[in-house]
Structure 1
Amino acid sequence: MSSTPERVASGHVDRVADYYDDNTRRFLLVAESPGSDAIHRGVWTPDVANVAEAMDTVNRLMIERLRGYVPPGSAKVLDLGCGVGGTMVRLAHEVDAFISGVTISRVQAEIAAKRFAREGLTERCDVICADFAELPAEPHYDAMIAVEAVVHSPSLEDLLPSLVDRLRSGGRLILCDDWMTDKDRGLVVRERCLDQFRAGWRIGSLHTVAELVVMSERAGLRLVEDLDLTSYLRLGRPRDRAIKLAMGATAVVPRLRNRLVEMPFWANMIGGSALQVGLSRRWLEYHLIVLEKA
């Protein structure tokens, strides 16, 4: 019996949840900026002076694009794939709004809730453990953000209309994520690299920015800004080189790699190594994209 699309999507969502349940605490232990609760990438724009500022770059860029676009006091902002709530806390201190978050990971939801209590933000921040493709019909949000999250969706084309339905008129959807390029499309080594990235990091939707724009327009969103941050990433750090060497050793035994990619720890290593290669060769790019509901 062949699998239905719904069953395939459900299986993928479960794999994403397992991946983050198993890996999140390790991500926090080896974070570039310990204590920041930031498990997304550091971005070294010219105005950044240290690691803590680099880890905050994406948060800062999002805050700048939310100010003036959410009504103070009554605004509601939703963080899709909110992780352990680091970005939510940052928003709560800078934007006069109620900040909600959704994560598929039970472990992340528990850590985030404790963080809000520790920061005295339980009245302004809340988190639910759920699939962001199955949000309740209410409330409607003035803005939604997602950092390195929508690539995990089984179908970005299906996800976008459901988000638009829950976004107020004029509201913003701000995405910071990895996007595929057309460079060397069809080249065997490129396609193998992207396949390893998809398998390792549980990627369900890998699209070009142009494809995103088309899907967004069909869903009722217009492109406001497309900011390429790839050149500000620090690739090839000592840790990254060590992982690349370890993963290279598994490449000669495909069956071993196929087994390892099913284990969340090794899956992260395999996907991360492929991501480094993809970014360095510009098969992948890291963009912050601002969309607005008409």
Structure 2
Amino acid sequence: MSSTSTNAAAGHVDRVADYYDDNTRRFLLVAESPGSDAIHRGVWMPGVAGAAEAADTVNRLMTERLRGYVPAEGARLLDLGCGVGATMVRLARELDGSVSGVTISRVQAEIAEKRFARAGLTERCQVICADFAELPAEPHYDAMVAVEAVVHSPSLENLIPSLVDRLRPGGRLILCDDWMTDKDRGLAARDRCLDQFRAGWRIGSLHTVAELAAMSESAGLRMVEDLDLTSYLRLGRPRDRLINVVVGAASVVPRVRNRLVERPFWANMIGGSALQHGLSRRWLEYHLIVLEKA
């Protein structure tokens, strides 16, 4: 990688860290399930009874896909972009293993550590404040998960092989994230929407599932499941409609929008509005993907 590319990647990582340092506490206050400590999206699959269950759906789906594929005792798991540790606690309790988490945000790491102490899991849950693209060579993990995280990587194509190197044979990598589709490719409105999503939410790697599959295969992973969860998201809630109106009014003048997107609060509003638009038109989809090392 050239020095220019390295500097650009480092600058992007710093922007992601600032974004989460500034926004995380607000995310917890306005989460779909306040008090759950989950800052990822709720997924309202059939049988989900309320917001707390919706917030836990992704954790449940990942746990189900790891049970039987990691050691019954002493499993070593890694949560990439672990946020405030809610998924780590779920995995530690359900799979009886030790869970390490990596977050680029100092604020998230501090909140996660307090959560582990309250849950009595400080011996089994460890959070590292670092870039998940710069993991040490050891230890190796039985499984890795990432929820709404790998899109922040400056280069998913470089990240995947580095993760494979740290995954034990037969280990699973589970990614739940937003993926670009080929629908309306070349349409100006689609391009504007995706550009605003990238800028607002500090997206570094936005790929199709097919592109991910090709990268993964080259790195020694096979895709064993691709589960489209888009239809189970609740789009267009009153809060979302209000944000769309406010963002639309503030973004009429491009130079105003460009200034606002540099501020983490407004960046989240602009990126979130674009995400809603993209998901509703299926320019973006929300998939849980299971990959397995040979």
TM-score (normalizing by structure 1): 0.99
Distance 1:216 1:68 in 2: 22
Residue aligned with 2:98, SS:
strand
Residue aligned with 1:133, SS:
helix
Residue 265 of structure 2: aligned partner: 265
- Counterparts of residues 136-285 of structure 1 (less than 5 Å): 136-285=136-285
Distance 2:172 2:221 in 1: 9
Specify the code of the residue in structure 1 equivalent to 2:165: D
| Residue 98 in structure 1 maps to residue 98 in structure 2 | yes
Specify the code of the residue in structure 1 equivalent to 2:68: G
| Residue 49 in structure 1 maps to residue 49 in structure 2 | yes
Residue 289 of structure 2: aligned partner: 289
State the identity %: 84
Specify the code of the residue in structure 2 equivalent to 1:245: V
Distance 1:220 1:109 in 2: 31
Aligned-residue CA RMSD (Å): 0.9
Residue aligned with 2:213, SS:
helix
| Residue 10 in structure 1 maps to residue 17 in structure 2 | no
| Residue 87 in structure 1 maps to residue 84 in structure 2 | no
Distance 2:87 2:147 in 1: 9
Segments of structure 2 that go 5 or more residues without pairing to the other structure are: none
Residue 20 of structure 1: aligned partner: 20
**How many residues are aligned here?**
293
Shift of 1:127: 0.3
Residue 58 of structure 1: aligned partner: 58
Residue 109 of structure 1: aligned partner: 109
Residue 119 of structure 1: aligned partner: 119
1:227-275 CA-to-partner distances (Å, cap 9, x unmatched) read 0000000000000000000011123211100000000000000000000
Shift of 1:104: 0.2
Residue 128 of structure 1: aligned partner: 128
Distance 1:3 1:99 in 2: 34
Distance 2:164 2:277 in 1: 34
Segments of structure 1 that go 5 or more residues without pairing to the other structure are: none
Which aligned segments of 4 or more residues in structure 1 are displaced greater than 4 angstroms? Answer: none
Residue aligned with 2:31, SS:
coil
Distance 1:97 1:68 in 2: 13
1:196-246 CA-to-partner distances (Å, cap 9, x unmatched) read 000000000000000000000001100000000000000000000000000
Distance 1:67 1:100 in 2: 17
Report the more deviating stretch, 65-74 or 268-277.
65-74
Shift of 1:51: 0.7
Shift of 1:3: 6.6
